[in-house]
Amino acid sequence: MKKRIFLALLLVAAAWLAGRYVTGRGGDSGGEEATGLGEIHEMFELQAGAQVEVRGINGPVTVETSETTTAEVHVTRTARDPGDSVEQKILIDHTPRSLVVRGENGGRGGWWRKLFGGGGRHAETRVTLKLPRRVEFEARGINGAVTVGETEGFLSVSGVNGRVEAKQAEGQARVTGTNGGVQLTFARVGQKGVQLSGVNGKVEFRLGAEAAADVDVHGINGRVSVTIAGATVEREQHGQRVRAKIGAGGPRVEVTGVNGSVNFDPAN
């Protein structure tokens, strides 16, 4: 058991470092670009099922969703001190089938300086997206909280140094390597299920009345609670592994490598 928890913590640490590295590197050049302090506000048309990705951001990411085909990107960057570094570029790439917002370091020193210091503090970047509900969304390498409104497509969150909150009407979800609590709300669990691993913090699942799933929780350092009406719960290995059937069962929800409690509760 101790080995599993140790490995889970290593996964969290590795994901956090990967997020810091991504923040330093970014991706290929191209698309809209802005440097320095200030704001970016862009609007784009997206097709249903478009892929939206946010990566390498030094600050919180917030996603609001609605019944629309228009995506709005709002980026603000602020410095607490005049000496804060603003060398990171924000690049936006767009097609009708995809939208990418990424941070790219324009200075020198790379990940070594970010890890061991010597480059001064970086200005905070806040990314707010207003998106159609029918998109596939991915956030990775984020040094701040990630909040995602209700979506209907695939949701992927990884390498986050902060709290994660997300809602889904129905779809597949994967959350890995977060240094902060996680709260996931599902009206229904999609057929491809949910995978959650490497979390340093409390995990909360909030499930709608129509949600049905087969739950498998193992390799965690904390208490497991299931308060869904009618759920059947089976505990194995002195309570260190918990299986539960919610509703009629169905899609698999697997939770592993959590340093904190795991709760399954009804959505309000």
Q: What is the pLDDT of residue 78?
A: 83
Rounded Cα distance between 28 and 239, Å, is 47
Facing residues of 85 across strands?
122
Instruction: Flag whether pLDDT at 109 surpasses 90.
Output: no
Rounded Cα distance between 79 and 63, Å, is 23
The pTM of this model reads 0.82
Tokens for 190, please give them: 């999609």
Q: Are strands 98-105 and 173-178 parallel, antiparallel or unpaired?
A: unpaired
Burial 34-48 (b: 16+ CB within 10 A, else e): eeeeeebebebebee
Mean pLDDT of the chain: 83
- Give the neighbor-by-neighbor strand order of the sheet with 203-207: 38-45, 70-78, 124-132, 61-66, 146-151, 164-168, 182-186, 203-207, 262-266, 224-226
Rounded Cα distance between 43 and 162, Å, is 27
Q: How far is CA 88 from the centre of its chain?
A: 21
Rounded Cα distance between 98 and 45, Å, is 10
DSSP 249: -
pLDDT tens column, 1-18: 555 544 455 555 544 444
Tokens for 266, please give them: 């009804």
pLDDT tens column, 25-81: 333 334 544 445 679 999 999 999 999 999 999 999 999 999 999 999 999 988 766
Select from 171, 130, 138, 148 the least CA-distant residue to 46: 130
Contact 187, 208 (CB under 8 A): yes
